[in-house]
Amino acid sequence: MVGACFKVQTGDIEEAPAWDALPCFKTSIDGDEVSVEINNLGTISRNSWLTVDDVKNSRRAPSRLSTVASTPSPHVVIVGGGASGLGAADNLRTLGFTGKITILSSEPYAPIDRTKLSKALITDSSKILLRTPEILKDLDIELKHTKVTKVDAKGKSVTTEDGETIKYDKLVLSTGGSPKMLPMPGFKELKGIYKLRTVPRQKRLWMRQVEGRRKLLSSEPDSSAWKLQLRCARKMTSTSLEWRKYRCISILLSSD
């Protein structure tokens, strides 16, 4: 959200990289009291509490500019289920496009906020979805989980890994990039180095962390591994499970 701009009067997005427009709330002032009406939650005064869930439930998903039902043609096929592909589909609908939109993604979930994969050990894709399947359905955007193996520019069609041929009128290639290992000594030989791009990779990292902790639990009390285990245990005083996961990464990196 750094650098994003919004319209003060409506909360609408003026400049990227924002994904959702800001929710707008009716505000009233009565003497020293400032009250805010939060959608269906009633009026929130300064003596009331607004929970995180309340804010999340006020999220403004994109809406279709046109109320006309979508038509099979023209058909826009978007190859790539990441942020750029979703952004193209979002804007087509919000700007009034009434044709068919199909997103072809090699990942087994709806588009995610990939930047969050480097912030915590997230193994549940539903926690970082940019658009839920329900929102995509409301926008009449079809999402198919498959890989594209061939593009026929002359015939205006793409072929998927399961042999399906999909015709298009316009094609958007937004496959993104794949991270590469640094060309430095040790990166191919050392264990415990992962490329964070998908949720399944995060799951493998989490399992690797569990294995690392098991190694430390079986180490000798006088060993450096045991001392590292004790050091991490002292830091794991928070009741937050996510925080404990994060703090134990140092154990993982030292377990080999």
pLDDT of residue 130: 92
The tokens of 205 are what? 């990292």
Whole-number Å distance between alpha carbons of 217 and 213: 6
* pLDDT tens, position by position, 60-81: 777 777 667 778 889 999 999 9
Q: Residue range 171-193: average pLDDT? A: 83
Give residue 171's pLDDT band: very low, low, confident or very high (50, 70, 90). Answer: very high
Mean pLDDT of the chain, nearest integer: 77
Is 209 within 8 Å of 217 (Cβ atoms)?
no
Q: What is the pLDDT of residue 241?
A: 41
User: Within a domain: residue 190?
Assistant: no
| Confidence (pLDDT) at 152 | 97
- CATH number for the domain spanning 81: value is 3.50.50.60
pLDDT at 27: 82
DSSP state for residue 189 in the 8-state scheme: T
Query: 192 pLDDT exceeds 90?
Result: no
Give the number of C-alpha atoms closer than 13 A to the C-alpha of residue 208, restricted to the C-beta side.
Answer: 18
Is pLDDT above 60 for 250?
A: no
pLDDT of residue 235: 47
pLDDT of residue 87 exceeding 80 = yes
Could you list the beta-strand ranges (E) of the chain.
5-6, 13-15, 26-30, 33-37, 43-44, 75-79, 100-105, 141-145, 148-152, 157-160, 165-167, 170-173
Percentage of the chain lying above the pLDDT 90 cut: 33
**Which whole number is the average pLDDT over 174-183?**
84
Burial of 213 (0-12, 13-18, 19+ CB in 10 A): middle
Domain presence at residue 21: yes
**Does a structural domain hold residue 204?**
yes
The larger pLDDT score, comparing residue 43 to residue 26, is at 26
Residue 218 included in any domain? yes
Co-location of 50 and 101 in the same domain: no
**Residue with the larger pLDDT of the pair 165 and 231:** 165
Residues 137 and 212 in one domain: no
pLDDT of residue 3: 79
**Residue 183 covered by a domain:** no
Q: Is the pTM higher than 0.75?
A: no
pLDDT tens column, 141-153:
999 999 999 999 9
Do 80 and 156 share a domain, yes or no?
Answer: yes
Q: Which of 15-19, 112-116, 162-166, 174-178 has the lowest mean pLDDT?
A: 15-19
The whole-number average pLDDT for the span 185-194 is: 76
Q: How many domains does the chain have?
A: 3
Q: How far apart are CA 99 and CA 104, in angstroms?
A: 16
**For position 201, what pLDDT does the model report?**
84
Q: Is residue 91 part of a domain?
A: yes
**35 lies in which domain range?**
5-57
